[in-house]
């Protein structure tokens, strides 16, 4: 990397940089050698950074107008929507922004799964990413409680009751979380406080995530180690910055489509009814991005078992770098893993679908099969597959397949676009 | 030569057009985040206050709240009116005729805020038979004009109107 050799040109720059090497950092970020075959699935890191900053800025604004009190929260949201200048816009950016954030993070995670970005030497990046994902879910959940509508209230009740499944201390923990004997004003005010705090924890972890990324450098669609810098790499600026910016603009067009044309399509209309502790809505569902986990929770006919599988389904991902022992990273060269990757994608989508449906009949059956398959994928299929799979030969460099015309249709196609 | 010059111009035009659209878009994005801190509709809806003045005795002052600030409404006695009208404008730090500060000579309506640093002056106090600000010692006369002390200008007269003989609408 370049910071060892970098010296600022001006005298003041050198004086400053010797005391606080910000200019070295800027130079490192600018020149950071990036594999030249990165495809558009690699632009979601930048998109996610944008999402986080957008949520923090709009959230900061909303907190100026929101009142965290059980008696006033609901009407303060209407105040934001009707009275505050552009309040409707800022709130819709924030609420749809959460969905877009999760959409981007799911693409980012599945990209890592397909191209083996979680494998050595990038395990820490992967685990940091999973912690970020967990914090995102906690933040989104608590944010959803703040408008104090029916879905807010009953979502909070159901999720906090998960902890009551813990043997012996469950009830005490739930009471402690609530600050009372049910979800009420103390719950709302602490959720508001934590909802404000967590994004900054996420921001800190994102910095670590990027720091850890810059040690080995980016993985790439072929998944081989790349010498840096070499003819297989390009400087981050302007090549990747302009490409990330282009992808971000496409992403923003879709984002704006939701904000301006269908701002409530991803929400639930029951949340425009004020929280009522005496009446539970007929059909209670979480936001779409939590549905697969909701399906897993409901598929188990046992309170504790459901909660254990729910949390297990996320924590199992942290062990992924050790469950998959294949030395080959990219699924382009792993014919079996490629198939099972797509089966997993379909499985998660199916779980999401049945999570939105009532837990009965065929839906419940699909949820159970999907849950069993989800765990089987990580605990049985991957460990076995990674030992028996016959992988295809890897090229020696990113440039080689282009020059020698290796007969691998997939990556010749994917390579041509980027060379 | 001609050809390459033309190409450069087209490229320059594209760059300028892109930056211009980008700048307008960025500005349009930033504006809502600035404007949200301006007074909102619920605040603007409270921007006028109506006051019933039929119960105010001559010589008395009532204080009402308008936009979160005090407004003095004083029903002046005849002696106070003639005192205010007879002052020589040359003696004043901020020369204003009493007639220009009132709509009806009997009623003085003004912001109850000292023009020095925003404290609320005390009624019927001070050396000029008007108001006295306890914070830094500004003296105002029976027309609310600054006569002595650090305040730079007379107390401000808000926009108001008599809806009928007994009602004033401020704002």
Contact A34, A218 (CB under 8 A): yes
Distance from CA of A28 to the nearest CA of B (A): 26
Domain-located, residue A417: no
Distance from CA of A158 to the nearest CA of B (A): 35
Same domain, residue pair A135 and A71: yes
B123 vs A399: CA distance, rounded Å: 88
Are B42 and A89 within 8 A, CB to CB? no
The domain spanning residue A140 has which CATH number? 1.20.810.10
Are A85 and B33 within 8 A, CB to CB? no
User: What is the ipTM, given to two decimal places?
Assistant: 0.83
Same domain, residue pair A217 and A140: yes
Range of the domain at A196: 32-411
Contact A396, A337 (CB under 8 A): no
Same domain, residue pair A139 and A24: no
Same domain, residue pair A147 and A184: yes
If you average pLDDT over every residue of chain A, what do you get? 92
Q: Which helix (H) or strand (E) holds A107?
A: helix A87-115
Distance, CA of A177 to chain centre: 25
SS3 B131: strand
Same domain, residue pair A256 and A280: yes
Q: Which helix (H) or strand (E) holds A84?
A: none
Are B35 and A85 within 8 A, CB to CB? yes
* Two structure tokens written together for B130: 């008007």
The pLDDT assigned to A419 comes to: 38
B109 vs B132: CA distance, rounded Å: 17
The pLDDT assigned to A415 comes to: 44
A80 vs A65: CA distance, rounded Å: 7
The pLDDT assigned to A3 comes to: 44
Long-range contacts of A399-402 (CB under 8 A, 24+ apart): A399/A231, A399/A232, A401/A222
**Which of the residues B36, B43, B46 would you substitute to probe the A interface, choosing the one with the greatest number of A C-beta atoms within 10 Å?**
B36
Contact A44, A103 (CB under 8 A): no
The pLDDT assigned to A287 comes to: 93
Domain-located, residue A3: yes
Ordered strands of the B69-75 beta sheet = B61-66, B69-75, B107-111
* Two structure tokens written together for A86: 């552009």
B168 vs B110: CA distance, rounded Å: 12
**Least confidently predicted of A53-57, A92-96, A227-231:** A227-231
Same domain, residue pair A10 and A144: no
**Which of the residues A53, A83, A87, A246 would you substitute to probe the B interface, choosing the one with the greatest number of B C-beta atoms within 10 Å?**
A83
Share of chain A above pLDDT 70, in %: 95
A22 vs A44: CA distance, rounded Å: 26
Q: Which residues of A touch B27 (CB under 8 A)?
A: none
A69 vs A50: CA distance, rounded Å: 30
Query: Which tens digit of pLDDT belongs to each residue from B57-106?
Result: 888 999 999 988 999 999 999 988 988 888 888 889 999 998 899 999 89
B144 vs B130: CA distance, rounded Å: 7
Band (pLDDT 50/70/90 cuts) for residue B3 is: low
Q: Which of B88, B85, B125, B124 is nearest to B105 (CA)?
A: B85
Residues of A with CB under 8 A from a CB of B: 57, 61, 64-65, 79, 82-87, 89-90
Span B126-155, average pLDDT: 92
Which B residues 57-116 touch A at CB under 8 Å?
none
Domain-located, residue A250: yes
Q: Which of A418, A91, A11, A7 is nearest to A222 (CA)?
A: A418
CA–CA distance from A353 to each of A300, A303, A348 (Å)?
17, 22, 9
Q: What number of C-beta contacts closer than 8 Å exist between A and B?
A: 34
Span A242-253, average pLDDT: 96
Q: How many residues does chain A have?
A: 419
**B29 at the A interface (CB within 8 A)?**
no
Query: Which tens digit of pLDDT belongs to each residue from A3-27?
Result: 457 889 999 999 999 999 999 999 9
Q: Which of B33, B38, B41 has the CB atom closest to A61's CB atom?
A: B33
**Which of the residues A84, A94, A242, A249 would you substitute to probe the B interface, choosing the one with the greatest number of B C-beta atoms within 10 Å?**
A84
If you average pLDDT over every residue of chain B, what do you get? 89
Which residue in A has a C-alpha nearest to residue B22's C-alpha? A249
B134 vs B121: CA distance, rounded Å: 7
Contact A213, A125 (CB under 8 A): yes
Band (pLDDT 50/70/90 cuts) for residue A397 is: confident
The pLDDT assigned to A408 comes to: 53
Same domain, residue pair A226 and A198: yes
Domain-located, residue A394: yes
Q: Which of B10, B22, B167, B156 is nearest to B96 (CA)?
A: B156
Orientation of helix A87-115 relative to helix A335-356, angle to 10°: 150
Same domain, residue pair A3 and A116: no
Query: Which tens digit of pLDDT belongs to each residue from A83-109?
Result: 999 999 999 999 999 999 999 999 999
Band (pLDDT 50/70/90 cuts) for residue A253 is: very high
CA–CA distance from A67 to each of A75, A100, A218 (Å)?
9, 25, 43
B53 vs A258: CA distance, rounded Å: 54
Q: Which of B90, B73, B91 is nearest to B128 (CA)?
A: B91
Are B41 and A82 within 8 A, CB to CB? yes
Rounded to the nearest 5°, which phi and psi values hold at A398?
A: -70, -35
Domain-located, residue A401: yes
Residues 6+ apart with CB under 8 A from A8: A14, A16, A17, A23
Q: To the nearest 10°, the Cα dihedral for A96, A98, A100, A105?
A: -170
Same domain, residue pair A10 and A79: no
**B42 at the A interface (CB within 8 A)?**
yes
Q: Which helix (H) or strand (E) holds A161?
A: helix A150-161
A315 vs B153: CA distance, rounded Å: 70
The pLDDT assigned to A66 comes to: 97
Are B36 and A82 within 8 A, CB to CB? no
Q: Which residues of A touch B38 (CB under 8 A)?
A: 85
Please tell me what DSSP assigns to residue B104. Answer: B
Query: Which tens digit of pLDDT belongs to each residue from A117-128?
Result: 999 999 999 999
Q: Looking at the 3D structure of chain A, how many domains does it have?
A: 2
* Two structure tokens written together for A319: 């062990």
B7 vs A415: CA distance, rounded Å: 30
B21 vs B42: CA distance, rounded Å: 34
Same domain, residue pair A155 and A8: no
Same domain, residue pair A1 and A45: no
Residues 6+ apart with CB under 8 A from B156: B110, B111, B113, B115
Same domain, residue pair A3 and A140: no
Rounded to the nearest 5°, which phi and psi values hold at B146?
A: -70, 130
Which residue in B has a C-alpha nearest to residue A61's C-alpha? B33
Domain-located, residue A419: no
Share of chain A above pLDDT 90, in %: 88
Q: Which of B36, B40, B42 has the CB atom closest to A90's CB atom?
A: B36
B92: left (phi over 0), alpha (psi -120 to 50) or beta: beta
The pLDDT assigned to A198 comes to: 98
**B34 at the A interface (CB within 8 A)?**
no
Query: Which tens digit of pLDDT belongs to each residue from A163-222?
Result: 999 999 999 999 999 999 999 999 999 999 999 999 999 999 999 999 999 999 999 999
Domain-located, residue A84: yes
The pLDDT assigned to A227 comes to: 84
Which residue in B has a C-alpha nearest to residue A84's C-alpha? B40
Q: Which of B31, B36, B43 has the CB atom closest to A87's CB atom?
A: B36
């Amino acid at each position: 990397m370049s910071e060892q050799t970098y010296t600022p040109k001006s005298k003041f720059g050198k004086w400053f940089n010797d005391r606080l090497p910000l200019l070295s950092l800027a130079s490192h970020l600018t020149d950071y050698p990036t594999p030249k075959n990165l495809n558009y699935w690699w632009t979601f890191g930048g998109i996610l950074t944008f999402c986080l900053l957008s949520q923090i800025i709009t959230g900061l604004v909303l907190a100026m107008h929101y009142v965290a009190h059980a008696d006033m929260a609901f009407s303060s949201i209407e105040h934001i929507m009707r009275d505050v200048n552009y309040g409707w816009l800022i709130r819709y950016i924030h609420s749809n922004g959460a969905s877009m954030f999760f959409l981007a993070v799911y693409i980012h995670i599945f990209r890592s799964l397909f191209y083996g970005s979680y494998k050595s030497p990038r395990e820490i990046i992967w685990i940091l990413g999973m912690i970020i994902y967990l914090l995102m879910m906690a933040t989104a959940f608590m944010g959803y409680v703040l408008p104090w509508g029916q879905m807010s209230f009953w979502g909070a009740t159901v999720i906090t009751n998960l902890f009551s499944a813990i043997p012996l201390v469950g009830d005490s923990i739930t009471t402690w979380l609530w600050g009372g004997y049910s979800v009420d004003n103390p719950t709302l005010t602490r959720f508001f406080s934590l909802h404000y705090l967590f994004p900054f924890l996420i921001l800190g972890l994102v910095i670590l995530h990027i720091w850890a990324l810059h040690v080995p450098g980016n993985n790439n669609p072929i998944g081989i180690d790349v010498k840096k810098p070499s003819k297989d790499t390009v400087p981050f600026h302007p090549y990747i910055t302009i490409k990330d910016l282009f992808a971000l603009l496409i992403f923003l067009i879709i984002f704006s489509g939701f904000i301006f044309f269908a701002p409530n399509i991803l929400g639930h209309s029951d949340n425009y009814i004020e929280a009522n502790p005496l009446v539970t809505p007929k059909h209670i569902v979480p936001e779409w991005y939590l549905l697969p986990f909701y399906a897993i929770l409901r598929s188990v006919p046992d309170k504790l078992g459901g909660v254990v599988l729910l949390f297990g389904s996320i924590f199992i991902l942290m062990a992924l770098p050790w469950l998959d022992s294949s030395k080959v990273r990219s699924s382009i060269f792993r014919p079996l893993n490629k198939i099972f990757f797509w089966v997993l994608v379909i499985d998660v989508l199916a779980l999401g679908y049945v999570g939105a449906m009532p837990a009965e009949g065929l839906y419940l059956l699909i949820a159970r099969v999907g849950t069993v398959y989800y765990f089987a994928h990580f605990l049985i299929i991957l460990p076995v597959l990674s030992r028996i799979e016959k992988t295809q030969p890897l090229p020696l460099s990113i440039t080689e397949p282009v020059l020698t015309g290796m007969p691998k249709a997939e990556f010749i196609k994917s390579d041509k676009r980027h060379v | 030569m001609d050809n390459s010059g033309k190409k450069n111009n087209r490229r320059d035009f594209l760059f300028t057009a892109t930056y211009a659209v980008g700048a307008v878009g960025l500005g349009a994005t930033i504006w809502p985040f600035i404007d949200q801190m301006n007074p909102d509709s619920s605040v603007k809806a409270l921007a006028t206050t109506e006051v019933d003045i039929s119960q105010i005795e001559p010589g008395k002052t009532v204080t009402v709240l308008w936009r979160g600030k005090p407004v003095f409404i004083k029903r002046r006695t005849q002696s106070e009116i003639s005192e205010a009208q007879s002052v020589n404008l040359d003696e004043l730090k901020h020369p204003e005729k009493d007639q220009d500060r009132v709509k009806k000579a009997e009623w003085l309506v003004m912001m109850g805020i000292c023009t020095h640093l925003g404290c609320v002056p005390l009624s019927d106090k001070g050396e000029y038979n008007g108001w006295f600000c306890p914070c830094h010692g500004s003296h105002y006369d029976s027309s609310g004009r600054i006569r002595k002390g650090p305040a730079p200008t007379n107390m401000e007269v808000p926009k108001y109107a008599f809806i009928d003989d007994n009602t004033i609408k401020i704002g």
